[in-house]
């Protein structure tokens, strides 16, 4: 027999529905994280000796949170159906952990946005400093091809032949490219965190209702 009646039964099914949406959100976060990690353009720009890896730290946080969201969403559905106070309390605790991870990924992306961009710009600049370095020349060509740009803040005839002189400089191209990626991480992290606040409220309300019903019995 159900431990909750009346309006609390509605909360129970709302929590179940929320957990299903939460599971789908975790799948979406995981998919976006995998896209950011294995996006061919991003991988090309951040491979090579000395390539900065700060950008991927935020991506790994996002991947971990997405995978955990899917697991927690599944057990949250089970806890709501079984009306288990223990499972719901565990669900709340896991939501709190994921909430912190998502906020961390979002804040990390926004706070370190300039640092990440600067690190990539320095990596590119160092690759074009020494034209005798074969590895550096190869890295520069990857940036020119991927971002459709050429040269640093000033045009370099050895890097940019006449047909490429009108292209935008790579430092600006790097800024635009990584700002877009980092905004995706930030907005997803903060958006999912807002959704989880609703889940924590539902789980606590249902948990308290189950507890009160047991005291009455």
Mean pLDDT in residue range 1-9: 56
- Residue 165 is predicted with a pLDDT of 58
Tell me how many degrees the CA angle 157-161-163 measures, rounded to the nearest 5: 140
What number of other Cβ atoms are within 10 A of residue 57's Cβ? 14
- Residue 7 is predicted with a pLDDT of 58
pLDDT tens readout for residues 26-81: 888 889 889 888 888 888 888 766 778 778 887 887 788 788 888 888 877 777 77
What number of other Cβ atoms are within 10 A of residue 31's Cβ? 11
- Residue 11 is predicted with a pLDDT of 66
CA distances from 132 to 126, 144, 168 (A): 12, 18, 24
- Residue 155 is predicted with a pLDDT of 57
Q: Is the pLDDT of residue 213 over 80?
A: no
pLDDT tens readout for residues 95-151: 788 777 667 766 766 777 788 888 888 888 887 776 666 666 788 888 888 888 887
> Could you tell me if 124 and 140 are in contact, meaning their C-beta atoms sit under 8 angstroms apart?
yes
pLDDT-derived band at 21 (thresholds 50, 70, 90) equals confident
Q: Is the pLDDT of residue 217 over 70?
A: no
What number of other Cβ atoms are within 10 A of residue 129's Cβ? 11
pLDDT tens readout for residues 156-201: 666 666 555 567 888 888 999 988 887 787 777 777 777 777 777 7
- Residue 1 is predicted with a pLDDT of 43
Mean pLDDT in residue range 13-38: 84
- Residue 197 is predicted with a pLDDT of 79
- Residue 40 is predicted with a pLDDT of 86
**Tokens 């989880």 appear where?**
196
- Residue 134 is predicted with a pLDDT of 62
Tell me how many degrees the CA angle 73-65-111 measures, rounded to the nearest 5: 140
Question: What 3 state SS string does the chain have?
Answer: CCCCCCHHHHHHHHHHHHHHHHHHHHHHHHHHHHHHHHCHHHHHHCCCCCCCCHHHHHHHHHHHHHHHHHHHHHHHHHHHHHCCHHHHHHHHHHHHHHHHHHHHHHHHHHHCHHHHHHHHHHHHHHHHHCCCCHHHHHHHHHHHHHHCCCCCCCCCCCCCCHHHCCCCCHHHHHHHHHHHHHHHHHHHHHHHHHHHHHHHHHHHHHHHHHHHHHHHC
- Residue 152 is predicted with a pLDDT of 75
> Could you tell me if 75 and 91 are in contact, meaning their C-beta atoms sit under 8 angstroms apart?
yes
């Amino acid at each position: 027999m159900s431990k909750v009646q009346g309006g609390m039964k509605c909360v129970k099914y709302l929590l179940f529905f929320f957990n299903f949406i939460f599971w789908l959100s975790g799948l979406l976060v995981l998919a976006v994280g995998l896209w950011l990690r294995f996006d061919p353009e991003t991988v090309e720009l951040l491979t090579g000796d000395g390539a900065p890896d700060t950008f991927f730290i935020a991506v790994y946080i996002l991947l971990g949170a997405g995978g955990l969201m899917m697991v927690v969403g599944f057990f949250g559905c089970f806890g709501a159906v079984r009306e288990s106070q223990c499972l719901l309390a565990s669900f709340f605790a896991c939501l709190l952990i994921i909430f912190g991870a998502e906020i961390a990924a979002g804040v990390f992306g926004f706070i370190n946005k300039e640092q990440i961009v600067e690190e990539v710009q320095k990596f590119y600049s160092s690759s074009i400093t020494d034209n005798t370095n074969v590895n550096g020349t190869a890295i520069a060509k990857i940036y020119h091809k991927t971002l459709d740009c050429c040269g640093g803040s000033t045009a370099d005839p050895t890097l940019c032949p006449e047909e490429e002189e009108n292209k935008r400089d790579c430092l600006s191209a790097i800024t635009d490219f990584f700002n877009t990626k980092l905004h995706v991480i930030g907005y997803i992290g903060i958006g999912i965190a807002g959704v989880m606040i609703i889940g924590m409220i539902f789980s606590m309300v249902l948990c308290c209702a189950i507890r009160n019903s047991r005291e009455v019995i």
